[in-house]
Structure 1
């Protein structure tokens, strides 16, 4: 027997607009303020302290906060069970507003707690750059559909992605999660990805997409990242501000549900030199009025507390007022709704201003079906997440995304043959994985060929273990000592070099010495070996230019694509060969 709804907002037969207006009319000021915050949360006991000196989940729920961004979890079932507990607890509050759970990307290889999470129980695919290398909108849609199904299984209903910035500044630490340097490719793949998450419109089987980082985070001065004060400036010496808007206009036209402005502040433009989350000209004038966007705008995490560029001189309350005036709907990473309550009661913020944002936030919860059935089947979560089929698809995409840049004749010519097992000296490749196809040896001198799996270089920043240390920034050159070591191996034995490109490394001193050169955007040993031995073909092409020198990078315009002089390998470069099996 179905219980009749007590209030109109609980009646699924009514329209989203009717339900939203009814619920809004019943909300206290405390209810309203809580809806406008989205802190991070620990998956675990609701009474345990939160991360980064935050309150417990139960305390946050008591503050009427009901949007949360989760980080690590050991298993899909653990997330699902925690999610159901949170939803039951939320129902104990007078209006029973369900909780919306969000997540940064967690289906690839990046493991920076400030930006993305290692796949863990979820299926593992290449980074977004790998999909740009493959260049298939159909595959990007398929990837997003798998993400959608796996998120739904554990109760995640908002994806804090896709990241659709253009990687026009090669040194920038966030490039691996983008779709590369080309605006047209990024736009096509971004639309496919958003539709894979949301469908043609947001509904009960959707995961809402939050595109970022408006108005494009790529043009960072000196390639530094605005998570940190030294990287707060975005500059446009090439006059390409509008080019960076193209992917955002594309996803707006595709119905993207949410948008995140970046931390950075524009320098030398028509806009106020304050962080984009405080920038009325950018959020209201550009995003809402010029581009016609009326969805949710959620700030990047912690702009009121920490990354308040251009408004450092203002107090917490003044920053909140300025951000609201700019046009944001929700404060990411913040958890102090009482400040907003006090501002309204003091007459410094109109309650009607809150209602403008609340209509968007509530509408989203209703469209996602959270008021009607917020729970998930925890008993099935482990079987629905990371299925063998999804893992196989992810592995195939990892292999396909490899880019073959050089393939000389000789014993290291690709694909290799396993008919007569080769003696192989390997670095960055597990001996157990290699032993299924070749004979591992201990030194280059003992080998028929060498295989070196490297990662793009970076300069250490911050203290080890701090957030800053997870951002790979600075020079794209390999250290001289490392180049000497690598080229010595190459001269000793024919060598296959493979480089993980989370940024476009400079390979000028390495490429001439390698017998074969491949790059990848996140691949397991198995995916890499499938490519080497011809079980899978490398079908990728470069999603950005590979610069020839740091001098060329430093002389380029950070807002302009394909602007480094005489690149070693150009965008779109890629050789291949047919798979042998």
Structure 2
């Protein structure tokens, strides 16, 4: 006789209840941990500790009863699919055969940051979410549907995105994955994104989305990121807490499968006249239970951000546990406080035995595990993982990074280019540039091969009819804590030596300056030097050439304002979007059209 939980003729609730009643405490606890995993050569399972994974694959699956994993390194599409199938075969060996939910941070753009995102590699490559926000909703929908198909093809069933934090603090280092600073634009983008990934309701063709970071991670004090001890405080000098909640209200209404609280701790915040405890959001019962669960009515999965219980030690560096406000608590006490706050899953942790011991010692009721395990199992059933968790390796090779998908991503890269200045009253517009073989072009920060799409490439600015210089937004390099070097933080000012060198180039040839924005940059000193000034948010050299020549017309608009100075940034309020005095360019600006 087939157990009811294995019989698809039963409802999700019936199957969930049947399986839940069969699980041991250890199996229920295993459901509640969600950690990093890596694939091995040719799609094999990794049976050693990896660069970031803490245990061999068989240990976490068979011994710790875990079945939620955030995958980092992946091989080719075929190898990725092979690895996913091997992982599911391993999970099938457990007593109840609970399939694995494979999740990922964004991996369709350019930024390689093990703490936040991955470059596309075998997947189709698109602009960062900031660049999608610079486009239209139809572009976002196309991206989401293609990303969903590519994820499904390699067995990824959960997206640890979208990130709908409002980019209200210009210095904040996590803006590149947001949809910008405008609440209305962010909400529209979110709704389109969820529709593309999840569909009208969760099912076997869906990728479940975890919308983050509740209740809005943008208002970081002085723009410092809460990954790190110096960025633990979140502040609301403008009283805009409710504005940051807006996109999450929409996400809940649109059926987001999960929500992830951020690391930050709210300072001086009140809800309904009651002061909110100044501890990290995932530790915060007022935020997770009273606000998210009870007031906003969310009954999906709440997964914490990574490593709130234990320090993370890897690659010769340490990142302290993000136990902001509860640093004095033991790991067991931190775990209990997270459960009492109302979270279902511990991100980046695998201390299953600690939770089991707390249940057996009477510190955590088994019934509390049942509450979260029911949500987690129900999501697996809705995604169809119990009915067929395997993927077709041939189809993965055909779908992931297909020519059609790559062309769509390339179009979006070029289209998202945002033109801030195009010539002046004396010269008139310079764009689009005709592709003239006799034109001599000096390029910097761009490959000569791509530069040849504009003319003959020369080695000195003074020998060129045109200079194209690609820059990255400035930041202050830091490399003391694990992952710190990957986060661009601090001042938005360009260094004076760079500005002086660009001034020299502008005196000898026509200068096009492109700035890749993962945060705003102070463009004020560049504006008088550039005959054409543009910004991008994840655009290859070839896609930039396609935009400059008009082969794919640039139509991006700024997803946030460009401040005039760092003094204006420092004077702005962290929780108020687009709040700097006398901005150089307003949000929504482009020379190609009016503000959005």
Give per-residue Cα distances to partners, 1:148-182, cap 9 Å, x unaligned. 10000000000000000000000000001100000
Partners in 1 of 2:530 and 2:450 — Cα distance? 22
TM-score, structure 1 normalization: 0.97
Is the partner of 1:210 in helix, strand or coil? strand
**Displacement after TM superposition at 1:117 (Å):** 0.1
Partners in 2 of 1:468 and 1:42 — Cα distance? 21
**Displacement after TM superposition at 1:36 (Å):** 0.2
Matches within 5 A, 1:235-250: 235-250=235-250
1:439 corresponds in structure 2 to 456
2:38–2:53 Cα contact (<8 Å) kept: no
2:266 corresponds in structure 1 to 266
From 294, 309, 317, the counterpart of 1:289: 294
Give per-residue Cα distances to partners, 1:518-575, cap 9 Å, x unaligned. 1001001111001111111111111111000000000000100121001111111102
2:27 corresponds in structure 1 to 31
2:367 corresponds in structure 1 to 352
From 408, 411, 427, the counterpart of 1:396: 411
**Displacement after TM superposition at 1:411 (Å):** 9.6
Partners in 1 of 2:382 and 2:130 — Cα distance? 31
Partners in 2 of 1:50 and 1:17 — Cα distance? 37
Partners in 1 of 2:526 and 2:436 — Cα distance? 29
Partners in 2 of 1:253 and 1:312 — Cα distance? 35
Structure 1 moving runs of 4+ over 3 Å = 50-53, 409-412
2:152–2:207 Cα contact (<8 Å) kept: yes
Give per-residue Cα distances to partners, 1:348-382, cap 9 Å, x unaligned. 00100110101100000000000000000012212
Confirm whether residue 40 of structure 1 aligns to residue 55 of structure 2.
no
Is the partner of 2:592 in helix, strand or coil? coil
Is the partner of 2:513 in helix, strand or coil? strand
TM-score, structure 2 normalization: 0.94
2:421–2:591 Cα contact (<8 Å) kept: yes
1:218 corresponds in structure 2 to 218
1:55 corresponds in structure 2 to 55
Give per-residue Cα distances to partners, 1:182-233, cap 9 Å, x unaligned. 0000001001101110001100000000000000000000100000000000
Partners in 2 of 1:542 and 1:76 — Cα distance? 34
Matches within 5 A, 1:194-209: 194-209=194-209
Matches within 5 A, 1:290-369: 290-305=295-310, 306-369=321-384
Give per-residue Cα distances to partners, 1:3-28, cap 9 Å, x unaligned. xx621100000000000000000001
Confirm whether residue 383 of structure 1 aligns to residue 398 of structure 2.
yes
2:437–2:456 Cα contact (<8 Å) kept: no
Confirm whether residue 83 of structure 1 aligns to residue 84 of structure 2.
yes
Give per-residue Cα distances to partners, 1:480-526, cap 9 Å, x unaligned. 11111112111221100011000000010011110001100100111
Matches within 5 A, 1:408-419: 408=423, 410=427, 413-419=430-436
Confirm whether residue 567 of structure 1 aligns to residue 572 of structure 2.
no
Confirm whether residue 491 of structure 1 aligns to residue 492 of structure 2.
no
1:232–1:263 Cα contact (<8 Å) kept: yes
Partners in 2 of 1:411 and 1:499 — Cα distance? 22
**Displacement after TM superposition at 1:109 (Å):** 0.9
**Displacement after TM superposition at 1:53 (Å):** 6.2
1:548 corresponds in structure 2 to 564
1:185 corresponds in structure 2 to 185
Partners in 1 of 2:579 and 2:555 — Cα distance? 25
2:278–2:325 Cα contact (<8 Å) kept: yes
2:70 corresponds in structure 1 to 69
2:39–2:75 Cα contact (<8 Å) kept: no
Is the partner of 1:78 in helix, strand or coil? helix
Confirm whether residue 103 of structure 1 aligns to residue 133 of structure 2.
no
Partners in 1 of 2:143 and 2:77 — Cα distance? 18
**Displacement after TM superposition at 1:137 (Å):** 1.8
**Displacement after TM superposition at 1:576 (Å):** 2.8
Question: Aligned Cα RMSD in Å?
Answer: 1.3
**Displacement after TM superposition at 1:51 (Å):** 3.3
Partners in 1 of 2:51 and 2:5 — Cα distance? 34
Partners in 1 of 2:280 and 2:438 — Cα distance? 58
Partners in 2 of 1:542 and 1:55 — Cα distance? 43
2:441–2:454 Cα contact (<8 Å) kept: no
Partners in 2 of 1:524 and 1:538 — Cα distance? 14
Cα–Cα, structure 1 residues 329 and 141, in superposed 2: closer, same or farther, change >3 Å?
A: same
**Displacement after TM superposition at 1:138 (Å):** 2.2
1:412–1:449 Cα contact (<8 Å) kept: no
Is the partner of 2:21 in helix, strand or coil? helix
